[in-house]
Amino acid sequence: MKKIQYPESSTWTEILNRPTQTVSDIEATVKEIFSEVAKKGDAAVKKYTNLFDGMTLDTLQVSEAEYNSASVSKELADSIALAKRNIEKFHTAQKTETISIETMPGVQCWQEKRPIQKVGLYIPGGSAPLFSTILMLAVPAQLAGCKEIVLCSPPDKNGNIHPAILYTARLCGVSKIYKVGGIQAIAAMTFGTSTIPQVYKIFGPGNQFVTVAKQLATNYGVAIDMPAGPSELLVFGDDTANAAFVASDLLSQAEHGTDSQVILVTTSIKLLNEVESEVAAQLEQLPRKEIASEAIKNSKLLLVASEEIALQLINQYAPEHFIVVSKNEHFFIENIQNAGSVFIGNYTPESAGDYASGTNHTLPTNGYAKQYSGVNLDSFMKSMTFQKISKEGIKKIGTAIEIMAEAEGLQAHKNAVTLRLKKID
């Protein structure tokens, strides 16, 4: 990890640059695949599954036999069940009541929420089969009442979906599962094929290609949860932080992929040096050492002069995950503006949010925490407004509508009110 002491604010943008390709580097490939999937459907999906995953598939959908036979160890099943309960509790608590108000006598307005009917879940399944993401997406989708849930995940080298993914999907009531990953999966859910249904909104994290594909899907009338690309973590720690814990958290994100990024911001030179040593030592013990090592090359150890400067830098970076370990933690809790999810104290590892605490781990990356929320119950719903106006109400509000419509030069709008008022009179 590169150590930088007391960087000038003018250098922050360069220092905090993510190790990702630009959209222009990827967009041409994504557009080509989208175009072919739109025209050729399943044939194109199979072609690119063979090209990118090295797998020739006769059928894309997981069979009923595969679905029903998937199993995991009792220990893992119990752990998944615990996580599911906590995720259900937290997301159930996010339900809101209908909002209704009479804005003036005879003018009743209200807002109700309706589920998005058809949603697509993208579940990464390459070197790390992220069955936990199914809990994060399918649980709130079911709570919201989405009628059709489609799941796409890339096949392994044997043409199968990891059993933990199938088991978790079954536990969450998701039965439409397809052995498709990458750009072609996003394209298939965008346009629909003879096998894979078209959806209204696509959810789920992925690599840079998946992220750009999701963004392109919005050009074709499909919504997305957010631009969620390579994982990232920023830790702020002072002298109260445990260096071994901090290093383990940094490495937990570094092992996601070579294009992940982790950053330590600290006011303590002692902690900075200890974390550097701990990262080197712990890295040697990781099965995914090679991947994490590449990510560490993109990562930083930053020493700053004060917590106020640290906060400014953190808000500029807008991390996907933000861990704060400080004797002054309330300063950060109260003033952090841009972060996907915040983890507080020595005993709150980021991996708790990834799996089992109850919060959602599908979060905005690449600085999008400045304007996007992480996935929540409302992500699977849309708000609809209603209004009902009585004769009394239109008499009270009508003249104002007429005057405003005429001022905008919209005579038909004015007439729609004038006719009603004349009828009442």
Tens digit of pLDDT for each residue in 150-172?
999 999 989 999 999 999 999 99
- Does the annotation list 413 as a binding residue? yes
**Distant-in-sequence, close-in-space partners of 196: CB < 8 Å, separation ≥ 6:** 42, 45, 60, 61, 150, 152, 178, 180, 188, 189
Cα–Cα distance, 250 to 144 (Å, whole number): 34
Count CB atoms within 10 A of the CB of residue 171.
19
Beta bridge partners of 108: 102, 388
At 397, which helix (H) or strand (E)? Answer: helix 391-407
Is 320 noted as a catalytic residue in this protein?
Answer: yes
With contact defined as beta carbons under 8 Å apart, do 49 and 100 qualify?
no
pTM: 0.93
3-state secondary structure of 240: coil
- Does the annotation list 354 as a binding residue? yes
State the CATH class of domain 2-20+230-358: alpha beta
The residue annotated as part of the active site, out of 320, 334, 361, 402, is 320
Cα–Cα distance, 342 to 128 (Å, whole number): 24
The residue annotated as part of the active site, out of 321, 329, 330, 334, is 321
pLDDT value of residue 101: 98
Between the alpha carbon of residue 143 and those of residues 140, 344, 355, 420, the distances in Å are 5, 28, 18, 42
- Does the annotation list 408 as a binding residue? yes
Which residue, among 304, 253, 308, has the nearest Cα to 279 in the 3D structure?
253
- Does the annotation list 160 as a binding residue? no
Cα–Cα distance, 6 to 308 (Å, whole number): 13
- Does the annotation list 208 as a binding residue? no
Q: Do domains 2-20+230-358 and 390-424 have the same CATH topology?
A: no
Query: Which parts of the chain sit beneath pLDDT 70?
Result: 20-22, 127
pLDDT value of residue 125: 84
Is 284 noted as a catalytic residue in this protein?
Answer: no
pLDDT value of residue 99: 96
Residue 261 tokens, joined: 């990024």
- Does the annotation list 17 as a binding residue? no
- Does the annotation list 71 as a binding residue? no
Cα–Cα distance, 186 to 199 (Å, whole number): 10
Domain borders along the chain are 2-20+230-358, 23-227, 390-424
- Superfamily (CATH H level) for 23-227: Nitrogenase molybdenum iron protein domain (3.40.50.1980)
> Which ranges in 240-358 belong to alpha helices (H)?
243-254, 269-283, 289-297, 307-317, 329-335, 350-355
For 390-424, CATH gives 1.20.5.1300
Condensed to tens digits (0 to 9), the pLDDT of residues 362-385 reads: 999 999 999 999 999 999 999 999
Cα–Cα distance, 29 to 31 (Å, whole number): 6
